[in-house]
Structure 1
Amino acid sequence: KKTASWLYRIHPSAVHRPFRPLIPSPSHLVSAFHPGSPHVSLTPSQLRWSPFDLPRNGDKVDFIAGLRTVAGAGEPSTRHGIAIHVFTANVGMKKKAFYNSDGDFLIGGSIFHRLRLALSKPCDRILTQLARLPSINFPLIPCHHSTVPQHGRLDITTEFGPLMVHPNEICVIQRGMRFSVALPDGPSRGYILEVYNGHFELPDLGPIGANGLADPRHFLTPTARYENAKVDWHIVNKYVGQLFVAEQDHSPFDVVGWHGNYVPYKYDLAKFCVINSVSFDHIDPSIFTVLTCKSERPGVAVADFVIFPPRWAVQEHTFRPPYFHRNCMSEFMGLILGDYEGKTGGFLPGGGSLHSIMTPHGPDAGAVDKAITGELKPVRVAEGTQAFMFESCYMLATTEWGLNTCQKVQDDYWKAWAGIESKFDPAKK
């Protein structure tokens, strides 16, 4: 698929001083996950993290300094693999822009706020095989100086214009796009899925047909908004996992207009159209896929972004929670708000869990008891909550920070299943 964009800027983006290594560089940002690396560890055990700490009062941590890698596979120089990061920040990026040469960022999270929308146009990048969106005029708007977040909005300035990412929204910043993050609500926390190969797109709908899941018209892209200011800026680049910085004497956000289909975009998860069983059986979570990054093997994803939204459960003669299973995908889950339907405690907003390939997992003892004893009548599921999953065909390694340094791993997570009692009765036929 051809993707490209033309940007009409005041200064060529090549006008900057040479790059040099960024010092100090975030020590917990990892991009290579070879088994022999001292920065990663391998374990098939089920892992769960308590909420990751926000920066301490008195510390000034921006989006770049607050990046922490939890797990991943592969490495970016071969453009093969993924990385899962969390970020915590309490200050904006002052006269500093960031771009990633290694891959695309899917940024998600956020809690409780519902404020103004800084976008105006549906995204024609998502995806041409599903919809042909109408052509869009890109106005030239002068401005005054004015990616899943879990806590606090992200006010993201991109070369294409502004993206205000609210609670329960995601944004995708694709490879090479410069952006800067401000924090209008103070401290912020969230999750990032980085893919080294391919790009995110809508999943194939197959027998579902034309309507369902995430609709292309609900994806929004920025309107061009330029800064024409002669002021010093720092441009930070992530290149093969290392951070480099260059200085320039003008704003990198000096684009007065653009056209194309290689763009940043955002999506409100509340607009997801749920598909589910209305008769019996528990359908695989692939029905909740918002975006996918396809691999070279048909039907196998480098990474899927999956959500578990509020919906009705009406199945008869069915154990309704996610069933116990082992599968061929790695599953990292996070919680934006509320309580996850498959757990009755311990899985909290701002935390996470990782279930590796072929490691058994499923609902905890409390969720099992509730499902077995509850009446199978139509009920609302996941009301007031939003959990999500980064799912990948890769076998993930966990970073030293994720396993030890962060001190958030729940050592007793295995006990979530210890209280499940056998209901087997050989006398019953």
Structure 2
Amino acid sequence: METKLKPTRDFTDLKYGEGFGNHFCTEALPGALPKGQNSPQQCPYNLVAEQFSGTAFTVPRASNQRTWLYKIKPSVCHTPFKPCDPTKYKYIKNNFLNAEEMHTTPNQLRWKPLPYNKAEPKDWVESLVTVAGAGDPQIKQGIAIYLYSANKNMGNTVFYNSDGDFLVVPQEGTLFITTELGKMTVGPREICVLPRGLKFSIDLEQESRGYVCEVFKGHFKIPDLGPIGANGLANPRDFQAPVAWYENVEADFTLLNKFQGKMFQSTTKSSPFNVVAWHGNYAPCKYNLDNFNTMNTVSFDHPDPSIFTVLTCPTDEPGVAVCDFAIFPPRWMVAEHTFRPPYYHRNIMSEYMGNIQGVYDAKEGGFGPGCGSLHNIMTAHGPETDVFHKASNSELSPVKYPYENLAFMFESSYFINTTKFVMDDVVNVDHDYFQCWQKLEDLKLQTN
């Protein structure tokens, strides 16, 4: 039976500001934003000024990310943090350098959807399962990939992540997200970015499942377009940030913090969602993937899959990413003299794929919505046998991949290790995944 829930807070009158990385100015009460300076001696409405920084103070102005918050109470108003019950969040693992907890293999891997826990419902944070990753948040290097399958509201439990930014990709069910800076609803075919340190709580109307990518260094940005020019792919105006919203509530709240991969908790006597006004460019945002302006070839061959990049988190090496988030959306295929599905390849990037809806181009079986796969650095992969034969012999007339098809990829320059427990019982591993290519062994050299 499907779980029916009601969000803790009202989401009927949502407003958003437009534009990725813009400097927003928003207030829930008229005149709440101070005039003339960020931290005046006395703020309007007896508010307290607090700066929320996502970069070092001294980075170049073009890269600096920070937001000024005008709050009823400052963030320091909470009891000391204590370690959480280790059994409650036991599937959150972030130190991928610990060989005892990790599984290393060059094999192609595929997983079935993460099931819901019907016997013991879990909220969004409780349901997080670390699938794979690299590095360690302590040294701000690396990436983590999670699944979630939530069927309970967070309510007065509030979470923030000291370790990195979250990119959330819902596959099933809408997330009702309350953040310090305002409220968002994010459903399938949408994504959201929840930056490092942002406090948020997630409620549901029904069971919700999806994927999360966390980057330990840097922030997600729109990729440069190069020869494409000024327009195309994900356009800045289509990203939405919440506008100021607050609640002045005196009640018991639990504050969770993921810190160096471990979970801690504290308590506070009033709502952390007490930001009456804010201005800055360090903020959560959401994006509808249907707004992605797909580029493709109109002649022959393939552009590389980087042409499908929605967001990127770059490393210090130009052109190389901690994570590229790419999608494979509905689109026209018109190229002639061309094998149209993704070509067989080996790559210096690791690729974790998920399927949001429909059928993925290169896999017609075994990779339904909610599934995931991992092809590590220099691990060969490509279309399954039936797709290869079908595409090799089909008539190359224009064809449109239907709207229902939407898959994505987290692509990283790191070697990706999996956690041992997702290789066992928590997520069902498809041990027969390799079989989808085995009949390709029957291909023969033709010299006639």
Q: Find the counterpart in structure 2 of residue 314 from structure 1.
A: 334
Q: Deviations over 1:228-258 (max 9, x none)?
A: 0100100000000000001000000011111
Q: Which among 174, 180, 200 is matched to residue 153 of structure 1?
A: 174
Kindly indicate whether residue 171 of structure 2 is the aligned counterpart of residue 97 of structure 1.
no
Matches within 5 A, 1:68-87: 68-87=129-148
**1:30 alignment partner AA:** K
Q: Find the counterpart in structure 2 of residue 63 from structure 1.
A: 124
Distance 2:200 2:99 in 1: 30
Distance 2:305 2:402 in 1: 14
Distance 1:365 1:60 in 2: 40
Distance 1:385 1:211 in 2: 24
Q: Which among 187, 193, 199 is matched to residue 178 of structure 1?
A: 199
Kindly indicate whether residue 183 of structure 2 is the aligned counterpart of residue 162 of structure 1.
yes
In structure 2, the CA distance between the partners of 1:172 and 1:42, relative to structure 1 (3 Å rule), is: same
Q: Which among 29, 33, 37 is matched to residue 96 of structure 2?
A: 33
Q: Which among 412, 417, 422 is matched to residue 443 of structure 2?
A: 422
CA contact (8 A) 2:69 2:275 kept: yes
Offset at residue 37 of structure 1 (A): 2.6
Distance 1:412 1:95 in 2: 43
Offset at residue 402 of structure 1 (A): 1.7
Kindly indicate whether residue 276 of structure 2 is the aligned counterpart of residue 256 of structure 1.
yes
Offset at residue 48 of structure 1 (A): 0.5
- Structure 1 unaligned runs (5+)? 108-147
Q: Deviations over 1:101-132 (max 9, x none)?
A: 0000000xxxxxxxxxxxxxxxxxxxxxxxxx
RMSD: 1.0
CA contact (8 A) 2:241 2:283 kept: yes
TM-score (norm 1): 0.88
SS in 1 for 2:322: strand
Q: Deviations over 1:70-128 (max 9, x none)?
A: 00000000000000000111011021000000000000xxxxxxxxxxxxxxxxxxxxx
Offset at residue 52 of structure 1 (A): 1.3
Distance 1:314 1:285 in 2: 16
Distance 1:401 1:98 in 2: 24
Q: Find the counterpart in structure 2 of residue 304 from structure 1.
A: 324
CA contact (8 A) 2:113 2:427 kept: no
Offset at residue 357 of structure 1 (A): 0.4
Distance 1:26 1:55 in 2: 14
Distance 1:26 1:18 in 2: 19
Q: Find the counterpart in structure 1 of residue 291 from structure 2.
A: 271
Kindly indicate whether residue 36 of structure 2 is the aligned counterpart of residue 16 of structure 1.
no
Q: Deviations over 1:130-167 (max 9, x none)?
A: xxxxxxxxxxxxxxxxxx01110000000000010022
Offset at residue 334 of structure 1 (A): 0.2
**2:135 alignment partner AA:** G
**1:157 alignment partner AA:** T
Distance 1:181 1:267 in 2: 17
Offset at residue 370 of structure 1 (A): 1.4
Q: Deviations over 1:328-372 (max 9, x none)?
A: 000000000101011110001111000010010000011111101
Kindly indicate whether residue 239 of structure 2 is the aligned counterpart of residue 219 of structure 1.
yes
Give me the identity figure in percent: 52
**1:93 alignment partner AA:** M
CA contact (8 A) 1:101 1:176 kept: yes
CA contact (8 A) 1:339 1:382 kept: no
Kindly indicate whether residue 345 of structure 2 is the aligned counterpart of residue 325 of structure 1.
yes
Distance 1:251 1:342 in 2: 48
- Structure 2 unaligned runs (5+)? 1-62
Greater shift in the superposed pair: 364-373 or 384-393: 364-373
Distance 2:146 2:82 in 1: 24
SS in 1 for 2:250: coil
Q: Find the counterpart in structure 2 of residue 140 from structure 1.
A: none
Q: Find the counterpart in structure 2 of residue 363 from structure 1.
A: 383
CA contact (8 A) 1:326 1:361 kept: yes
SS in 2 for 1:62: coil
Greater shift in the superposed pair: 361-370 or 416-425: 416-425
Q: Deviations over 1:5-59 (max 9, x none)?
A: 011111111111111011144111110101x432111000000111111222x42
Q: Find the counterpart in structure 1 of residue 373 from structure 2.
A: 353
CA contact (8 A) 1:156 1:162 kept: yes
SS in 2 for 1:207: helix
CA contact (8 A) 2:171 2:187 kept: no
Matches within 5 A, 1:197-216: 197-216=217-236
SS in 1 for 2:301: coil
Distance 2:314 2:236 in 1: 18
TM-score (norm 2): 0.84
Q: Deviations over 1:364-410 (max 9, x none)?
A: 01111110121001001253111000000000001012211325111
SS in 1 for 2:297: coil
Greater shift in the superposed pair: 374-383 or 318-327: 374-383
Q: Find the counterpart in structure 2 of residue 115 from structure 1.
A: none
SS in 2 for 1:273: coil
Q: Find the counterpart in structure 1 of residue 116 from structure 2.
A: 54
**1:10 alignment partner AA:** I
Structure 1 ranges of 4+ moved more than 4 A: none
**1:97 alignment partner AA:** V
Q: Find the counterpart in structure 2 of residue 113 from structure 1.
A: none
CA contact (8 A) 1:305 1:391 kept: yes
CA contact (8 A) 2:131 2:419 kept: yes
SS in 2 for 1:371: helix
Q: How many residues align?
A: 384
**2:187 alignment partner AA:** H
Matches within 5 A, 1:127-142: none
In structure 2, the CA distance between the partners of 1:364 and 1:325, relative to structure 1 (3 Å rule), is: same
CA contact (8 A) 1:88 1:189 kept: yes
Kindly indicate whether residue 127 of structure 2 is the aligned counterpart of residue 106 of structure 1.
no
